Structure 1
Amino acid sequence: MQITHYLHAAVLVSDLERAEHFYGNVLGLPKVERSLKYPGTWYQVGEFQLHLIVAPSMPSELQNPEKWGRNAHIAFAVADLDAAKNQLIAHNYPIQMSASGRAALFTQDPDSNIIELSQQLANR
C-alpha cells in the first residue's frame, strides 16, 4: 500500500448551524456546495476537506482536559497566530496556548472538538 495524500477529516457535531458559524465565520473556511444524503457541511482547506456530520449523540468529556493538544484534534496552519487568537477571543471561544512553547494554540468548537492553530514558518 502507498498512501499518496490526505483527503479529508470528519468531525461530529450536534448543531449544524452553530458548527457552521464556528468553522465558516470564525475560522473563515470556505464551504463546498454539495448535495448530501445526511445532515452535514463540507469545507475546503487547500487540497484538504473537512466534513461536519451531525451526530445524534456526542462524547461529553475530553480525555485530557488539562492539555487540550493531548486529545484527538485537527490542526490548521495560520499565517498570524496573534490574529487567530484575537478572532477566537472576539467570538468568545476558549483558547489554550501550546504547552510546548511553540507558536500554537488550541481551541474548542461548540461541541468541544479540539482545533489546533499553529503558525508555520514559510519554509515548512
Structure 2
Amino acid sequence: MGYRFGLDHFALLVRDVERSTAFYRNVMGFSPIERSGSAGVQWLEIGGGDAIHLIQGDFGATHVTKDTHVAVSTADFDAFVRHLNEIGVEFTDWPGNPGQIGVHRNGFQQIYVQDPDGYWIEINDHRPPVGA
C-alpha cells in the first residue's frame, strides 16, 4: 500500500484536566495550545507539530499498565534527567529500578515516568527531533 503516516496527536482520558495539564507543562515541558473548545479538554504541543489531547472524564474502566505507554524522544536526554531530579519526579528503567537509566538493546537510553493518572511515559534519545 505504501501509505506514509506521521503522528498528529494522541489523546488520554484523565481524572482532572488541570492536574494533568500542570504535569505535562511543568514536568514534560509541553506547551498549551490555545483553542476554543469544550470544558475539560486541553491540547498541548509536544514538538514538531505533534500534540497530546487531555480529556477529562470517567476514568473508572481505564486500566493502565507499563506495556501500554507513550514514548517521546529528546536530544537533551541528560538535561531532562537532571530536570526530573531537580524537581523530585521519580523515574525508573524498564524493570522498575528507581532512578536508573536503561539502555535499550539497540543502544539508546530510556527512562519511564508516570503521570498523575498512572500513564507511563518513556523518554529516550532514540530519535531526537530533527534540528536538535
Per the TM superposition, whether the score is higher than 0.5 is yes
1-structure distance, mates of 2:56, 2:64: 19
Q: Is 1:54 matched up with 2:46?
A: no
Please tell me whether the aligned partners of residues 74 and 127 of structure 2 are also in contact (alpha carbons under 8 angstroms): no
1:104 aligns with 2:100: no
Structure-2 separation of matches of 1:122 and 1:107: 18
Could you list the per-position Cα deviations for residues 8-64 of structure 1 after superposition, in whole angstroms to 9, with x for gaps in the alignment? 10011111121111111111111111112241110112121110111222457544x
8 Å contact 2:74–2:129 — kept in the other structure?
Answer: no
Any stretches of 5+ residues in structure 1 without a counterpart?
Answer: none
In the alignment, the residues of structure 2 paired with residue 97 and residue 43 of structure 1 have an alpha-carbon distance, to the nearest angstrom, of 26
Kept in 1: contact 2:11–2:53 (CA 8 A) = yes
TM-score by length of 2: 0.74
The CA distance in 2 between the partners of 1:17 and 1:119, in whole Å, is: 29
2 CA distance for matches of 1:53 and 1:29? 16
* Alignment map for 1:37-48 (pairs within 5 Å): 37-44=38-45, 45-48=47-50
Give the 5 Å matches for 1:14-93. Answer: 14-44=15-45, 45-58=47-60, 62-63=64-65, 68=66, 71-93=67-89
For residues 119 and 87 of structure 1, the distance between their equivalents in structure 2, rounded to whole angstroms, comes to: 15
CA RMSD in angstroms comes to 2.6
Is the contact between residue 12 and residue 58 of structure 1 (CA under 8 Å) also seen in structure 2? no
- What is the TM-score when the length of structure 1 is the normalising length? 0.78
Specify every segment of 5 or more residues in structure 2 that has no aligned partner in the other structure, as ranges.
96-101
Report sequence identity in percent: 29
Distance apart, 1:108 and its partner CA: 0.3
2:121 counterpart residue number = 115
